[in-house]
């Protein structure tokens, strides 16, 4: 329901994980395999010499400075801009407004109901359920209209279809109170908290 670039996030995380894994393997090999350490010393020395030669060929006429540092600085600025733009895309789609209608009654005016009203009401109704290990409610803006996303973590042995029907009944009651039907996505998942937690028992 959000406009967060999930595929791009997975690709970037995968690339970062691959680089960290490759760096860790290289460090282990450098510390344990003498042949790899010898190869690394030779390769790094040749690479450093080649870099120095490249810098020597890019100096300004009559000056010891190289214009490659300017290129590197510009590339760094572009990279920072891309990172800021990527961060700005995270979590988009959240909304703070559930209802915004014009009331032409005795005193005409706009009626606005915050999304926090629905979120807190549903969270309170779900908090005391012993068949849930966790529940979160959030309001999103989907194509210009508010919608609710309810994430549920049922405990082991709980029938998902019965849980979904009971939560749908809560949402129907919320619609009756608010006076408007709100689209709802009910997400029922499982995780470590679901597998290892147990419902509390009263003796």
Residue 143 region, left (φ>0) first, then alpha (ψ -120 to 50), else beta?
Answer: left
Q: Does domain 97-196 bear CATH number 3.30.70.1350?
A: yes
Q: Which of 114, 126, 120 is nearest to 188 (CA)?
A: 126
- Digit-by-digit pLDDT tens for the chain (203 residues) are 555 566 777 888 899 899 999 999 989 998 898 888 888 888 888 887 877 777 666 676 666 667 777 888 899 999 999 888 877 766 666 777 777 776 777 777 777 777 788 888 888 888 878 888 888 888 887 777 788 888 888 888 888 888 888 888 888 888 888 777 888 888 887 755 545 444 433 33
The β-bridge relationship of strands 109-114 and 97-103 is antiparallel
| Rounded Cα–Cα distance for residues 39 and 122 (Å) | 62
CB 174 within 8 A of CB 118: yes
Burial of residue 56 (CB within 10 Å: 0-12, 13-18, 19+) is: exposed
pTM strictly above 0.75:
no
Domain ranges of the chain: 6-88, 97-196
């Amino acid at each position: 329901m959000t406009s967060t670039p999930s595929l791009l996030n997975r690709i970037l995380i995968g690339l970062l994980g691959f680089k960290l894994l490759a760096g860790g393997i290289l460090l282990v090999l450098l510390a344990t395999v003498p042949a790899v350490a010898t190869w690394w010393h030779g390769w790094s020395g040749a690479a450093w010499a080649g870099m120095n030669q490249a810098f020597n060929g890019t100096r300004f006429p009559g000056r010891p400075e190289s214009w490659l540092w300017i290129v590197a600085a510009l590339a760094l600025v572009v990279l920072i801009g891309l990172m800021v733009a990527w961060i700005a895309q995270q979590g988009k789609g959240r909304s703070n407004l559930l209802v915004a209608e014009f009331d032409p009654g005795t005193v005409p005016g706009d009626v606005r109901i915050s999304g926090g009203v629905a979120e807190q009401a549903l969270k309170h109704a779900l908090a005391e359920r012993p068949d849930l290990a966790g529940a979160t409610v959030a309001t999103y803006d989907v194509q210009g209209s508010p919608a609710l996303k309810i994430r549920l973590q049922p405990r082991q042995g709980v029938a998902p279809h019965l849980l979904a029907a009971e939560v749908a009944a809560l949402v129907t009651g919320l619609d009756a109170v608010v006076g408007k039907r709100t689209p709802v996505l009910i997400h029922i998942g499982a995780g470590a908290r679901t597998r290892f937690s147990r419902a509390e028992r009263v003796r």
